Structure 1
């Protein structure tokens, strides 16, 4: 009996080999592409704020303590998470609401509240005295600072939204390494900021 096989039976066709290769290679190729993509962090973190890229290094920015007009560097804020509230032109009802909501967020963090500090930054053209007096009276534990126009515009260039900045203010998050990395409009529901902050604190090994 003839037990020999035909060439086609002994070896799969080139189309079969190609199809099998594609089935194994393509998924790995796509996974590698997404991993290397500049948007990879957005695949890993579903956030409600605007991720600032590149994050802004705060270590060398010049800030002024309004209580004594002493200058200090942003490097003094390293080691902790910070919620920054950059005030609107006038600290009226929207400003008051945001300050209150930020305080509520800290309370809602529970045991993690000690990891987060708050900072009020008045705009260079804000009614500074009125803003500072209100914050000092109602939120005495909130750190205050102001910046001159040049330093402010240099640091926030390309990040700040003028309409939010002037009307309702803006909220930023800086990390313990000393980088401002997330931005929110002052009109955002503060529960969204709280969700982002809880997620950041959960995955962070620092601060």
Structure 2
């Protein structure tokens, strides 16, 4: 009888443990499932951005810091959501305004902003001339990087599908695994629509993304 009671207690303990694992693991798994399969969501919750499916790893892009020439280490950005802006040629006033708007969008996430980084990728202009980066005043925390050669530029154009869209009109989203997974049209979408998408992404990944130091 004692052995039967012990076995029954062990089974109950295992069931309790499995139930606890399910309670804590299921929400983030469901959240990620719905992010990647928005067709299963009610119509009022479908994301406004364009899902890039399958997601595309960006770690193979050899980019370098515009000021120092130091290679960008994508591994430093793992566990972060990354806003990526792409600009061809010099970062003019329109480009600067776009970066400021992205900064404001990040700030609108309140405490969650610490889970988000920003990167500006600058491409050569139509003549192949290296672009001139913007002044950093007001853009602190934005990583500004360059493509080192035409091969890297071509790889980036293909990865981000820039043959089909205007790069300067879009915000690209890289997920905490280092995959390009969504883009938003900055000309056709309102800031609050983009913000709603970002809040959904952050909420779905709340249990597995770490914070960072930037304000």
Q: TM-score, normalised by structure 1?
A: 0.69
1:88 and 1:95 in contact (8 A); partners too: no
Give the length in aligned residue pairs.
165
Specify every segment of 5 or more residues in structure 1 that has no aligned partner in the other structure, as ranges. Answer: 1-38
1:162, distance to aligned residue in structure 2 (A): 5.0
1:150, distance to aligned residue in structure 2 (A): 1.7
1:139 equivalenced with 2:139 (yes/no):
yes
What are the Cα deviations for residues 89-111 of structure 1, in whole angstroms up to 9, with x where unaligned?
A: 44334323311211111111011
From the superposition, tell whether residues 43 and 57 of structure 1 become closer, same or farther in structure 2 (CA, over 3 Å): same
Larger radius of gyration: 1
* Counterpart residue number, 2:170: 170
User: How do residues 74-113 of structure 1 correspond to structure 2 at under 5 angstroms?
Assistant: 74-113=74-113
Give the root-mean-square deviation of aligned CA atoms. Answer: 2.4
Q: TM-score, normalised by structure 2?
A: 0.67
What are the Cα deviations for residues 121-156 of structure 1, in whole angstroms up to 9, with x where unaligned?
A: 1123277553x233x233022111111332232234
1:161, distance to aligned residue in structure 2 (A): 4.8
1:151 equivalenced with 2:152 (yes/no):
yes
* Counterpart residue number, 2:162: 160
- The 2-side partners of 1:156 and 1:66 are apart by 19
Specify every segment of 5 or more residues in structure 2 that has no aligned partner in the other structure, as ranges. Answer: 1-35, 210-215
- The 2-side partners of 1:149 and 1:76 are apart by 25
- The 2-side partners of 1:79 and 1:102 are apart by 20
- The 1-side partners of 2:47 and 2:68 are apart by 38
